Structure 1
Amino acid sequence: MNIKTILQFSIGPIGAALLSLITLPFVAWFFSVEDVGRLTMLQVVLGLSVSLFSLAMHQAYVREYHEEEDKAALLKLCILPGLVLLTSISLLILLLPFSISAALFGLDSGLLTFLLLAGIFASFFINFLAHVIRMEERGLAFSATKLAPKLLLLILISLIMLLNLTATFINLMLINTLSIVFSLLIFTWLTRDSWVIAIAKSVNYTLLKKLLRYSLPLVAGGIAYWGLTTMDRFFLRSLSGFEELGVYALASALAGAVSVLTSIFSSLWHPILYKWTKDGVDEKKVQNVIESMVIAVAMIWSLVGLFSFLIPFFLPPQYVAIKYLIVACVSMPLFYLLSETTGVGIGITRRSSYAMLASIMAFLINAILNYLLIPKYGASGAALATVISFFVFFVIKTESSARLWFSLPRLRIYVVVICYMLATTAMVLTKGSTFSYKTIWLALLLMVFILFYERLKKLWCYFTAYLKNGG
């Protein structure tokens, strides 16, 4: 995969992240903190639905894509089991004697229930069709699917403000669902050559069993990972209420802009890695990627720590705590991003149960820490639980990969992440009340540059050579 393709894949996620950073302050100013909390519950449920109903078959699709000749048949086999399960559960929900919307949002509304189900179905199909575009290495198409729904969401929110419409959660839910469905329409059009052919394909039960054997162990891990990333919202809602949840949720959403890097990297990394695996992977190449990722993670973490104090200037006064919460919240996508490289041995050896173990152990630790810390520290306690549990997730994946495949040098990596984790914990506990943190973040970054000096020098030489050759 060349630089041009990488840039094409990057345009969409980066643009979408920038649009989100524009949209979030609008939502914070125009809608109540409670409605921002309810919006978080919507996003939590959509994430759970994808984790549960996909049966992790999208990961099986990626793993077997280069091994199977009939890509359309593979796509159908991966979608079919989850679609049957999702349809059955949706019908059951409609027959239940109580309101799902009341349980999730504190509002009894048939319209909210309908919009929720529409968003779930759209998210389910988007999950698979996005992987089709990824594996076909269609960077511009992938970017278009990321940008278009964010643009629509921003336009709809702007219309609500310009037309002076009522800022209710139903309107907020409606525009979010419309943006998801719009995204699905784009995906459907761009992948029509794949899914139209897939419909007519017969079911290969032997291949289906092979796919399920790989994916089903990942379902428990996927649900555990969902819980790991979202349970703090449930604890905050029950122990602190929608207002505290809204502040923490906005901090997490802003930190989620860093997840754009995870999206870009995963879109590029897994296809490349499994191509390497098919041709005989070189451990040294993987080691180079890992060291480069450590440098990138350290730079991002330090920059967020240095400039987080600026964020409250763009938000209402009730969101001032974001200036120190966001540093902890950003650790989640950064730990995950790093684990995508240090844990490659799990995917290469097809030992998906180890990924499940990492998610489940981190999930349990997160649950315990949220229960213990939130009553005393509120949103700060949820943030600290996130930092510690994702560190555990990262360590288990890294050590599992070393045991299953290749025992890469790890001491320098652990020194870096532990130092950053300790600095983040101190900043949250003291509520970022001292200017010395700027010195700390700069010192940590300098330490990383010293520890990985050789890799940094090679990256600089590669970058300057690329510019000299005109890209």
Structure 2
Amino acid sequence: MPDKKESRSELLAYNILVFGMAMIISKLITFILTPIYTRYFTPAEFGVFDLSITAISVIAPLGMLGTSDALFRFYFEEKDLSFRKQLISNGLRFVSYFSLLFSIFILFFNDEIAKFYLGSSDYVIYINLVALIVFLTNIANITQAIIRMENNRKIITKVTVIQAVSTFIFSVLFVVVLELNMEYILVTQAITLTIVIYITGKYGWKYINLKELKLDRDLMKQILEYGLPLTPVFLGYWILKTSDRLIISYYHGVSMVGIYAVGAKLSAIANLFQSIFGKGWQYFSFSTMEDVDAHIIYGKIFEVVFLFGILTINFLIFYSDLIFEVLFDDRYYNAWVVVPLLTVGPFVMILKWITGIGFQIKKKTYYSTVTIFIASIINVILNFLLIEKYNIMGAAVATVISYIILLFLTYWFGNKLFEIVINKRNVIFLFILSIVSYCLKYYIVLNNFYYSTILFFVFNIIYLSSNYKVTIYIIKKVIMIYKKWRS
């Protein structure tokens, strides 16, 4: 549990710092493993694996029906332990039943799904593993939610590190030592999820009642009324994450999907920050939403995240080509062009969480459905228009445009429910400047470390100087938190 004496900035900063260290270890292991995978597996094999991972990341949330978000929301409305136990137990039962049905459905039609989604029934083992991992992922989501609701940083860090280390050990064992096929990376994921469920379930046992198998209809009605409108959001998110890969596969084959997927892996530095921020933000936002100056605090957080995102993208713009040249097999080099563009997505999702906080505060979660579906439809249209001619570059551009539209719509509707104060002119200026920097890299200083470095520092100076108030604010907060930590 967090220290009650923590200020709001300290609460969010400590959460991000603690969760961040754990997530950095996790993503660092993923980053180390990716170059290893590219040397053992072909782009076609990597493409099939990536499509499987993408399916898991989208199907699993559909099996949740927004239950985890609903539990988090109602947990803070009632402090009575018996209510919280009933709430979480019902949520766990429901997710277990519904996810099991989901997985059984996938297994029943595994051959047909493999042919349609992966292009051949030879890959049916991937579909079987997807079904298993979907079920385990959703159980883990509920047991991990208990720890996040209590904001137990120590246990969250422990679980994340154990999961990361287990992933590394089993991946190296299966791929490097035993030289098994790529589906065993999915087997690794199933093993690590089982470990996570055991640890988190043991911790959250005080909230879990397995003796009662029936669902409380009245309580489930409340949970589903909040969570169900969020389910189409995950479907829309599936379209945003998957349509580009499916259309690339249709026009250019699974080998090109594999190349595109490796580019997405490097952009995972942004996914890392999204994961870190998300773990800290959910608790922070619900615990501060009734503060008088919440709209100002959320606006400052928006500007800090936006600046950090621009600086991260700037680094990847000028050095992705060099990173690919050093770390990855030559077959994957062309994927560098999509890295800075795909990095936009995770940062936009963070900004969407902030600007769309009004959807959760006012319990009007259907706005999330509307905004993401509009963005998804646009994404599919752009993918068909751009991928055939421009290949993976077209897919990345379509993704960026779709995410920008999603952020605009979320800000537009969200501000009508809960206004957040941000400097809109500066946001637009920095966005345009980032487009200019990408064009300079792509057309003028490609594969030139010297000029890339000069431009990297020039643009960083512009970004920081044009956001000097935000920069000073960050420095002051860091110094304040550091001094308090030292004392």
| Both proteins in one fold, TM over 0.5 | yes
In 2, distance between residues paired with 1:356 and 1:152? 36
Equivalence for 2:21 = 11
In 1, distance between residues paired with 2:214 and 2:292? 32
Distance 1:162 1:433, change over 3 A: closer
41, 59, 62: which one pairs with 1:52?
Answer: 62
Asked whether the equivalents of residues 99 and 109 of structure 1 are also in contact (C-alpha less than 8 Å), the reply is no
Distance 1:186 1:227, change over 3 A: farther
Q: Which letter does structure 2 place at the counterpart of 1:226?
A: W
Shift of 1:57: 1.4
In 1, distance between residues paired with 2:176 and 2:237? 39
401, 404, 419: which one pairs with 1:388?
Answer: 401
Equivalence for 1:451 = 466
1:326 and 2:336 are equivalent in the alignment: no
Matched ranges for 1:109-124 at <5 A: 111-124=125-138
Asked whether the equivalents of residues 235 and 370 of structure 1 are also in contact (C-alpha less than 8 Å), the reply is yes
Shift of 1:63: 1.6
SS of residue in 1 equivalent to 2:419: coil
Equivalence for 1:171 = 184
218, 228, 236: which one pairs with 1:206?
Answer: 218
Distance 1:115 1:222, change over 3 A: closer
SS of residue in 1 equivalent to 2:65: coil
Matched ranges for 1:219-258 at <5 A: 219-258=231-270
Q: Which letter does structure 2 place at the counterpart of 1:62?
A: F
SS of residue in 2 equivalent to 1:207: helix
In 2, distance between residues paired with 1:427 and 1:373? 22
Asked whether the equivalents of residues 47 and 257 of structure 2 are also in contact (C-alpha less than 8 Å), the reply is yes
Equivalence for 2:52 = 42
Shift of 1:250: 1.1
Asked whether the equivalents of residues 214 and 350 of structure 1 are also in contact (C-alpha less than 8 Å), the reply is yes
Q: Which letter does structure 2 place at the counterpart of 1:340?
A: W
After TM superposition, the structure 1 stretch with the greater mean CA deviation from structure 2, 304-313 or 388-397, is 304-313
SS of residue in 1 equivalent to 2:77: coil
Shift of 1:122: 0.6
Shift of 1:373: 0.7
1:159 and 2:173 are equivalent in the alignment: yes
SS of residue in 2 equivalent to 1:388: helix
Q: Which letter does structure 2 place at the counterpart of 1:311?
A: I
In 2, distance between residues paired with 1:309 and 1:316? 12
In 1, distance between residues paired with 2:403 and 2:69? 21
Q: Which letter does structure 2 place at the counterpart of 1:142?
A: I
Shift of 1:26: 0.9
177, 188, 197: which one pairs with 1:184?
Answer: 197
- Identical aligned pairs, as a percentage? 19
In 2, distance between residues paired with 1:91 and 1:302? 45
Asked whether the equivalents of residues 16 and 277 of structure 2 are also in contact (C-alpha less than 8 Å), the reply is no
* Unaligned stretches of 5+ residues in structure 2: 1-5
In 2, distance between residues paired with 1:86 and 1:459? 43
Shift of 1:21: 0.7
Equivalence for 1:418 = 431
Asked whether the equivalents of residues 30 and 167 of structure 1 are also in contact (C-alpha less than 8 Å), the reply is no
Distance 1:427 1:347, change over 3 A: farther
Equivalence for 2:372 = 359
Asked whether the equivalents of residues 325 and 428 of structure 1 are also in contact (C-alpha less than 8 Å), the reply is no
Shift of 1:363: 0.6
Cα deviation per residue 1:249-298 (whole Å; 9 max; x = unaligned)? 11112212321211121111121111112455532222222222222222
266, 273, 287: which one pairs with 1:275?
Answer: 287
TM-score (norm: length of structure 1): 0.91
After TM superposition, the structure 1 stretch with the greater mean CA deviation from structure 2, 446-455 or 243-252, is 446-455
Q: Which letter does structure 1 place at the counterpart of 2:411?
A: T
Q: Which letter does structure 1 place at the counterpart of 2:25?
A: G
* Unaligned stretches of 5+ residues in structure 1: none
What is the alpha-carbon root mean square deviation over aligned residues? 2.7
Shift of 1:6: 4.2
Q: Which letter does structure 2 place at the counterpart of 1:465?
A: M
Equivalence for 1:147 = 161
1:266 and 2:281 are equivalent in the alignment: no
Cα deviation per residue 1:207-249 (whole Å; 9 max; x = unaligned)? 3222212211111112101211221111111111111100111
In 1, distance between residues paired with 2:56 and 2:291? 37
In 1, distance between residues paired with 2:151 and 2:320? 35
1:27 and 2:42 are equivalent in the alignment: no
Q: How many residues of Structure 1 are paired with residues of Structure 2 in the alignment?
A: 469
Asked whether the equivalents of residues 76 and 201 of structure 1 are also in contact (C-alpha less than 8 Å), the reply is no
Distance 1:296 1:92, change over 3 A: closer
Asked whether the equivalents of residues 60 and 214 of structure 1 are also in contact (C-alpha less than 8 Å), the reply is yes
Shift of 1:364: 0.7
TM-score (norm: length of structure 2): 0.88
297, 317, 320: which one pairs with 1:305?
Answer: 317
Asked whether the equivalents of residues 298 and 420 of structure 2 are also in contact (C-alpha less than 8 Å), the reply is no
Asked whether the equivalents of residues 321 and 336 of structure 2 are also in contact (C-alpha less than 8 Å), the reply is yes
After TM superposition, the structure 1 stretch with the greater mean CA deviation from structure 2, 204-213 or 378-387, is 204-213
